[in-house]
Structure 1
Amino acid sequence: MTEHHLAVTRTARYYQQGALSAKTRQVWFVCHGYGQLAAYFSRHFAFLAAANPDTVIIAPEGLSRFYLQGNGGRVGASWMTRDDRLHEIDDHIGFLNQLAANVLAECPADVHITVLGFSQGTATVSRWLTRTPLRPHHLILWAGSFPEDIATALAQQLLSGPKITLVVGTEDEYISVAQATRQQEYLVELGASPQLITFAGRHELNRAVLEQLAYTQR
């Protein structure tokens, strides 16, 4: 038996908060974690677009969906698993590149770009940004890690440009503050100057921190 692969066209899904226009000044690309759906994940950022008409939130969804328990009920999405991993990475990078090109074509050339990955989404956005012409002004890795399998030269090239922020809850059940601190040290070794923000909470987004991050970009 031999394994083969065939490239096919499929429909990807994303959600948008706010309206793109020549007046857009801030675009956030936000990638959810394992088992989440972009529709629900994007709601955490709705207040940013509501407060500032010049801000637009783009929330793509992982290409693989599945039932979270058994054969029915709630559905979640994933960016990749260890099975056929490299092709899944190629697929979501292709999706994100096409999405970003479509979105940014409707924005001014000097639009401020923030890329945020949450949990599994941190690896997704990190790999994407090493294989795209897009250059964000701010990269936020929330409750996750920068992949150590990214080639050092590519990692250094990416990390030398944007502002880097790491965020983790003090009670996060998947990544501890100590682990986040080691992640910060690892990124420093790669030439970055990351800020580490902690908050009282678990493996979740935090509105106060999002407000803080949005405020410092304006």
Structure 2
Amino acid sequence: MERHLTVARTARYQQLGDLSAATKHVWFVCHGYGQLAAYFVRHFAFLTEADPHTVVIAPEGLSRFYLSGNGGRVGASWMTRDDRLYEIEDHVNFLNQLAEKVLDECLPDVQVTVLGFSQGTATVSRWLAQAWFRPSHLVLWAGGFPEDIEATAVNRLLQGLQLTVVVGTEDEYISPEKAALQEQQLQQFGGSPTLITFAGKHELNRTVLEQIAGVE
């Protein structure tokens, strides 16, 4: 008979910028499947360079693995289909603890942007549906809102929330039709998403990030 035991473990995250009472904007950015936070966070370095009052937090998925064979490059994952409910619970608890640690060092009016990329979109969506705080802006990049979240929790999260959906025109995983369907589903949940497309594949885009962040 399969059983489960809750244990303490060490989670890893990356931070750009220094947290203080002077911090005005915090970004939580969650990577996609097979990525590591140390590399993913580099895409957001320009935010802290442009504004010393901005801090970027990049948590890393709790499961790491070799990307090819038994050695070489390592990647991380938020969850798989195996034992998925416990993996979801673990990463939601991790992200809630991390947010509490980070936001405790800021003033209550700090602006919070949460961005999920690819697999990270499902991660941040499930997290925020159970989070103890409400972000100022949610960005779902190259991924959709999962359908397994309770509708009332989704409506509560999305009502009045600034919501941006980003997808590349050549994304090999998300067709324009699928992106339009995702936008429609978010609207049905009570969201008012802004859809941004760019000429590119399943990847981040510096110009679009600057547009979202309002960096000139």
TM-score normalised by length of structure 2: 0.98
Distance in structure 2 (CA, Å) of the matches to 1:152 and 1:8: 31
Aligned alpha-carbon RMSD (Å): 1.1
Partner amino acid, structure 2, of 1:129: L
1:90 corresponding residue in structure 2: 89
2:167 corresponding residue in structure 1: 168
1:141 corresponding residue in structure 2: 140
Partner amino acid, structure 2, of 1:117: G
2:11 maps to 1:12? yes
Distance in structure 1 (CA, Å) of the matches to 2:168 and 2:214: 20
Distance in structure 1 (CA, Å) of the matches to 2:130 and 2:89: 10
Partner amino acid, structure 2, of 1:198: T
Matches within 5 A, 1:67-146: 67-146=66-145
1:59-95 Cα shifts (integer Å, max 9, x gaps): 0000000000000000000000000000000000000
**What is the DSSP-based 3-state SS (H/G/I as helix, E as strand, rest coil) of the residue aligned with 2:7?**
coil
Distance in structure 2 (CA, Å) of the matches to 1:191 and 1:131: 17
Distance in structure 2 (CA, Å) of the matches to 1:173 and 1:89: 26
Distance in structure 1 (CA, Å) of the matches to 2:98 and 2:189: 29
1:162-216 Cα shifts (integer Å, max 9, x gaps): 2000000000111122211110011111111100000000000000000000008
Partner amino acid, structure 2, of 1:119: S
Distance in structure 2 (CA, Å) of the matches to 1:172 and 1:133: 33
4+ long deviations beyond 3 Å = none
1:195 corresponding residue in structure 2: 194
1:32 corresponding residue in structure 2: 31
User: Is 1:177–1:198's contact at 8 Å kept on the other side of the alignment?
Assistant: no
Distance in structure 2 (CA, Å) of the matches to 1:119 and 1:37: 13
Q: Give unmatched runs, 5+ long, in structure 2.
A: none
User: Is 1:24–1:54's contact at 8 Å kept on the other side of the alignment?
Assistant: yes
**What is the DSSP-based 3-state SS (H/G/I as helix, E as strand, rest coil) of the residue aligned with 1:16?**
strand
Distance in structure 2 (CA, Å) of the matches to 1:193 and 1:142: 16
Distance in structure 1 (CA, Å) of the matches to 2:180 and 2:51: 33
Distance in structure 1 (CA, Å) of the matches to 2:135 and 2:149: 18
Distance in structure 2 (CA, Å) of the matches to 1:177 and 1:56: 33
1:207 corresponding residue in structure 2: 206
What is the total number of aligned residue pairs between the two structures?
216
Distance in structure 2 (CA, Å) of the matches to 1:89 and 1:191: 24
TM-score normalised by length of structure 1: 0.97
1:179 corresponding residue in structure 2: 178
Cα distance, 1:132 vs structure 2:
1.1
1:63 corresponding residue in structure 2: 62
Partner amino acid, structure 2, of 1:22: A
